[in-house]
């Protein structure tokens, strides 16, 4: 009888989170699809996980609040057991100039993106340590390398995620737990209201590989990191951006 492989994906119902959920299912994981408000998308992803042949579990929780994170992991452990993989994917953006940004908007972005990563990592690692194994993937951003104008809170939060990843990797490595950051570039997903409708057309010519990314590109990197082949990678940030954020402005042809 095979041992159940359990993965928790926060914000796993749509976009990059959905892509990761499905790829982990293809890799043999039963997937906990966490969502905060969009239950319909979470249900659709869960159904697709089950079509692949794996079990799914939908759990609502806002990862920025410790009581809800506790409820999330209590439910996972009670129903399935200790997860082997955690993907901290849940995140929000507030598109506003720095001088116009409201305190609550800043707080909400940092609470979800950075505090949520901390809370979920801490709770999952406490459980993983009991088995002396586990893999945590934090989803970063191209703004880990440079500033994104009008996204001060988002940029600050994702920069924090990268450094938090390194600290967590050093502290949790001796417990058998690896922690890495996967940082997407321009990826074609359901866009927020502030993004232009010609998103792909804008970013494609700026990307050295000549296209925008897809959720599957990010998901493939996550799947590698949680596989035996990626077991010795720890404390790293891997950019999945087609070279977009590697290049610097260059005035010559």
Catalytic positions = 154
Q: From residue 8, give the alpha-carbon distance in Å to each of 32, 93, 137.
A: 5, 22, 10
**Whether 189 contacts 143, CB under 8 Å:** no
Q: Please tell me the distance from the alpha carbon of residue 64 to that of residue 180, in angstroms, as a whole number.
A: 20
DSSP assignment of 116-174 equals HHHHHHHHHHHHHTTTT-EEEEEE--GGGTS--TTBHHHHHHHHHHHHHHHHHHHHHGG
User: What strand order describes the sheet that includes 30-35?
Assistant: 56-60, 30-35, 6-9, 85-88, 134-139, 177-184, 237-240
CA distances from 122 to 52, 61, 81, 134 (A): 30, 16, 17, 12
Torsion over CA: 192, 198, 202, 207 (sign):
positive
- C-alpha–C-alpha distance, residues 17 and 4, integer Å: 21
| Nearest residue to 122 (alpha-carbon basis) of 182, 184, 175 | 175
CA dist 23 and 17 (Å) reads 10
Scan for tokens 């079990």, then name that residue: 55
R_g of the chain, CA atoms, integer Å: 18
């Amino acid at each position: 009888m095979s041992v159940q492989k359990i993965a928790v994906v926060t914000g796993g119902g749509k976009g990059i989170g959905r892509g990761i959920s499905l790829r982990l299912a293809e890799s043999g994981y039963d997937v906990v699809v966490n969502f905060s408000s969009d239950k319909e998308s979470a249900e659709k992803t869960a159904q697709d996980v089950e079509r692949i042949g794996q079990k799914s579990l939908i759990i609502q929780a806002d990862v920025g609040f410790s009581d809800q994170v506790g409820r999330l992991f209590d439910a996972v452990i009670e129903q399935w057991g200790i997860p082997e993989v955690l993907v901290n994917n849940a995140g929000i953006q507030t598109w506003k100039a720095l001088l116009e940004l409201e305190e609550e908007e800043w707080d909400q972005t940092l609470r979800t993106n950075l505090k949520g990563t901390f809370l979920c990592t801490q709770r999952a690692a406490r459980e993983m340590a009991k088995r002396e194994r586990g893999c945590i993937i934090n989803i970063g951003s191209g703004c880990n390398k440079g500033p994104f104008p009008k996204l001060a809170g988002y940029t600050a939060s994702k920069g924090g995620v990268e450094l938090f990843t390194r600290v967590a990797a050093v502290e949790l490595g001796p417990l058998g737990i690896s922690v890495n950051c996967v940082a997407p570039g321009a990826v074609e997903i359901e866009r927020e209201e502030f993004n232009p409708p010609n998103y792909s057309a804008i970013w494609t010519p700026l990307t050295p590989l000549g296209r925008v990314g897809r959720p599957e590109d990010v998901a493939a990197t996550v799947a590698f990191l949680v596989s035996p082949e990626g077991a010795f990678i720890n404390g790293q940030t891997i950019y999945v951006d087609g070279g977009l954020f590697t290049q610097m402005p260059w005035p010559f042809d």
